[in-house]
Amino acid sequence: MNKFGTLYLIPITLGESPINNVIPEYNNVLLNEIDVYAVENIKTARRFLKKAGIQKPIEDLTFFEIGKRSESSNYPTFIKPLLEGKNMGILSEAGCPGVADPGAELVALAQEKKIKVVPLVGPSSILLSLMASGFNGQSFCFHGYLPIEQKQRVNKLKELERNAFREKQTQLFIETPFRNQAIFKDILTSLNNNTKLCVAVDLTLFTEEIYTKSIEDWKKETKLDLNKRPCIFLIG
């Protein structure tokens, strides 16, 4: 057996929900055994570690920034501590690292080097919305962001509707919060009236709302405001 450290994949809260609501106690125990983190955003990561009540001084920890601001050519440097026997954690901006989030590339490199990778339990809007939708959970597909250009987006929505219907496969996708209202409008105008849509907003927060309705019934709904709220859409 090699003497490498372990790479822990550590989910964080989806916004301002209390840690004990969505994170198992064990994760916080592990945080005290890690000195090196790869994170999407150092500020968010520091805030989360404080909220989790870790016992080490945060200024003694090492942070590498992954994602948009970082070149993947830096990744071999990032995993050096692991090769030297130190444990390391990946923290995303919200939810589970590597799922609809950076982190996957660093995990791939660790797997290649035969470093032990341990994923921890935490909140995922994909999984939570799937559970609460009432849609098929035996077969589902997450597509991330749909095309921004409207014609392409409408075509994609119709393709997902066909897949949901033909394959009985739940189709999930997300949008940048400030574009939620626009995509919601596109969904209602382009899909069939009897198609079922689930909209899950503010998951795990006190303002959480999750509704499954036919497109026809959604058209009558006028109160739900999705603007700037984290949201996931499911066609089932």
Which residues form the interface with a second copy (CB under 8 A)?
9, 18, 20-26, 96-101, 103-112, 117-119, 121-124, 126-145, 169, 198, 203-204, 208, 210-213
Compare residues 34 and 57 and give the one whose CB is closer to a second copy: 34
Asked whether the beta carbons of 58 and 153 are under 8 A apart, the reply is: no
Q: 223 burial class (0-12, 13-18, 19+ CB within 10 angstroms)?
A: exposed
Beta carbon of residue 87, minimum distance to a second copy (angstroms, whole number): 15
Compare residues 44 and 169 and give the one whose CB is closer to a second copy: 169
Using DSSP, state whether 110 is helix, strand or coil: helix
Beta carbon of residue 148, minimum distance to a second copy (angstroms, whole number): 15
Beta carbon of residue 204, minimum distance to a second copy (angstroms, whole number): 7
Structure tokens at 87: 């444990």
Compare residues 58 and 219 and give the one whose CB is closer to a second copy: 219
Give φ, ψ of 9 to 5 degrees. Answer: -100, 110
Asked whether the beta carbons of 120 and 92 are under 8 A apart, the reply is: no
Compare residues 41 and 124 and give the one whose CB is closer to a second copy: 124
**Other CB atoms closer than 10 Å to residue 38's CB: what's the count?**
29
Beta carbon of residue 60, minimum distance to a second copy (angstroms, whole number): 26
